[in-house]
Amino acid sequence: MKPEVLDTLGEVRDFYGLTKAVLELCEPYGPVHAFRMTHNRGVARVACLVELESPKQQERLVRALGARTVNGAASLEIPVTSEFTGGVVAEARQAQAA
């Protein structure tokens, strides 16, 4: 991925924030058809697959993010910190603490 994309996504602390950030990056390229993320704690990475409705825009998204293509979907390997937590539960806890 491009360094500026890594900087943007690497600062996120949970799935909610990461989902929001990735979808914001995809927004200029049209509607998202499919979206999937998996957290691998052992290597501190989140694998993300994004498939857009438009195949032409899909190619543009892949180039813009510096991503790879896997079976037609943009594939992002996002490094995360050890503090990264999954799910909406973490977001709810942060809101309660505030």
36's tokens: 């999937």
Residue ranges of domains in the chain: 3-97
Q: What is the pLDDT of residues 68-81, one digit of tens each?
A: 999 999 999 999 88
CATH topology for 3-97 is Alpha-Beta Plaits (3.30.70)
Q: What is the pLDDT of residues 17-68, one digit of tens each?
A: 999 999 999 999 999 999 999 998 888 899 999 999 999 999 999 999 999 9
pTM of the model: 0.82
Where are the extended beta strands (E) located within 1-98?
32-40, 45-52, 68-70, 73-79
Of 91, 87, 1, 80, which Cα lies nearest the Cα of 41?
A: 80
CB 23 within 8 A of CB 36: no
**Is the confidence at residue 89, as pLDDT, over 70?**
no
- Token look-up 């594939």 returns 75
**Is the confidence at residue 11, as pLDDT, over 90?**
no
DSSP H helical ranges for the chain: 3-10, 15-26, 55-65, 87-97
